[in-house]
């Protein structure tokens, strides 16, 4: 082949290569534009008017006396829902119910239930009987007292049972009780509060991370089953929020108050089936799932939790020494 022949071949290839390149660039630009417009739709315009008593008079919130659950109860009451509050402590339930009645003038109902047990659902079913439920927030959850290796978790057998009952069984059972009446009316919203820890394995919080991954998969699968019947089932995966459970006292941009988080999250309902609920958290979720290799995410999570474990055990050892008792930290 001569240089002339090679030049002729390149010239003949110029036009096809040009159009391949132009198509590729146009595709990328259209994808970027679509993502920008979608982000603007979700995080700027939102869908805040969807969650209203038109879905049904009552809203049900589990784990309603603290943190994110309490904030959901307050925000839903502010929007005019009559509230069913479910949590373990009747005293705390009464306090929250009185507050909602005084501040928002809504009807309330309380059901005291320990979600660590499995014999509670007939009582809850009776308490929900006859109510037109438009929104269910499956929020109740429990985490580790501190990061720990699986075999070193104190009272491991009961720890496993309690975490599965609270984080997983509650979601399935509460959905079983509420979804049929939503399906009969062809409208309703179920918000299942998972966690960013369910987006990938988190060592030293392994059971918690796994239960929250279950909530995410359960929610997305069920949404596909029932979306044609007008039901919205959303998986909510927050990163850190300043609550008693996370032990974060001072809110920051990436660690919002539960009130700020809930207000942002409710704007995503009907727009995202799986959501981090809050724009800075969505950025963090995109980076950790799309930009960073999963192996590195797991490694960094393990490293952070080992440091937290060491610090916790050191502080506990100092406290017990001060009180005159010993502690083996192995």
pLDDT tens by residue, 84-94? 999 999 999 99
Contact 1, 10 (CB under 8 A): no
Specify the pLDDT at position 330: 46
Angstrom distance (rounded) from CA 322 to CA 101: 46
| pLDDT at 328 exceeding the cut of 60 | no
pLDDT of residue 325: 57
What the block records as the tokens of 269 is 């309902």
Whole-model pTM over 0.85: yes
Q: Residue 233: pLDDT band by 50, 70, 90 thresholds?
A: very high
What gap in Å lies between CA 135 and CA 51, rounded to an integer? 8
Instruction: Residue count of the chain, please give it.
Output: 330
Residue of 73, 176, 55, 161 whose CA lies nearest to 117: 161
Give 8-28 pLDDT, tens digit per residue: 666 666 777 667 777 787 878
Residues in Cβ contact with 147 at an 8 Å cutoff, skipping those fewer than 6 apart: 204, 205, 305, 306, 308, 309, 312
Q: Which has the closest alpha carbon to 56: 150, 157, 214, 178?
A: 178
Can you tell me the distance from the alpha carbon of 156 to that of 327, in angstroms, rounded to the nearest whole number? 18
Q: At residue 156, does pLDDT exceed 80?
A: yes
pLDDT score for 58: 98
Q: 138 with 190: CB under 8 angstroms?
A: yes
Q: Which of 57-61, 93-97, 137-141, 321-325 has the lowest mean pLDDT?
A: 321-325
Q: What are the structural domain ranges in the chain?
A: 45-290, 292-330
Give the DSSP H or E segment for 258.
Answer: helix 258-266
Cα–Cα distance measured from residue 20 to residue 22, given in angstroms and rounded to the nearest whole number:
6
Mean pLDDT of the chain: 91
Per-residue pLDDT reduced to its tens digit, 160-180: 999 999 999 999 999 999 999
Sheet-wide strand order for 188-193: 108-112, 82-87, 58-62, 133-138, 188-193, 231-236, 274-275
pLDDT digits (tens, 9 = 90+) for 286-311: 999 999 999 999 999 999 999 999 99
Of 313, 284, 268, 289, which is closest to residue 45 (Cα–Cα)?
Answer: 268
Q: Is 208 a catalytic residue?
A: yes
pLDDT at site 32: 73
Residue 127 in this model has a pLDDT that exceeds 50: yes
Structural fold of domain 45-290 = Rossmann fold (3.40.50)
d(CA 12, CA 165): 68
| Residue of 208, 261, 278, 312 marked catalytic | 208
């Amino acid at each position: 082949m001569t240089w002339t022949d090679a030049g002729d071949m390149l010239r003949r290839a110029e036009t096809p290569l040009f159009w391949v390149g132009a198509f590729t660039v146009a595709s990328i630009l259209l994808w970027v534009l679509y993502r920008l417009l979608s982000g603007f739709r979700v995080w700027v315009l939102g869908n805040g008017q969807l969650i209203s008593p038109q879905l049904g008079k009552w809203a049900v919130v589990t784990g309603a006396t603290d943190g994110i659950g309490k904030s959901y109860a307050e925000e839903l009451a502010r929007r005019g829902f009559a509230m069913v509050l479910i949590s373990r402590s009747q005293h705390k339930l009464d306090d929250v119910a009185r507050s909602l009645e005084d501040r928002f003038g809504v009807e309330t109902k309380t059901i005291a239930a320990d979600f660590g047990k499995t014999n509670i659902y007939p009582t809850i079913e009776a308490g929900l009987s006859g109510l037109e439920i438009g929104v269910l927030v499956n929020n109740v959850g429990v985490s580790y007292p501190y990061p720990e290796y699986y075999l070193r978790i104190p009272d491991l057998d009961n720890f496993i049972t309690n975490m599965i009952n609270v984080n997983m069984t509650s979601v399935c059972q509460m959905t079983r009780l509420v979804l049929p009446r939503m399906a009969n009316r062809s409208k309703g919203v179920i918000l299942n509060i998972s966690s960013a820890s369910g987006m990938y394995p988190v060592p030293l919080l392994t059971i918690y991370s796994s239960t929250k991954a279950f909530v995410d998969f359960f929610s997305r699968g069920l949404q596909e089953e029932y979306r044609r019947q007008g039901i919205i089932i959303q998986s909510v995966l927050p990163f850190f929020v300043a609550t008693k459970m996370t032990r974060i006292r001072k809110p920051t941009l990436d660690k919002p108050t539960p009130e700020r988080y809930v207000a942002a999250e409710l704007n995503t309902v009907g727009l995202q089936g799986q959501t981090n609920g809050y724009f800075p958290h969505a950025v963090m979720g995109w980076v950790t799932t799309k930009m960073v290799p999963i192996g590195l995410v797991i490694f960094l999570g393990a490293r952070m939790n080992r440091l937290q474990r060491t610090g916790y055990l050191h502080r506990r050892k100092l406290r017990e020494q001060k009180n005159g008792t010993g502690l083996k930290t192995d």
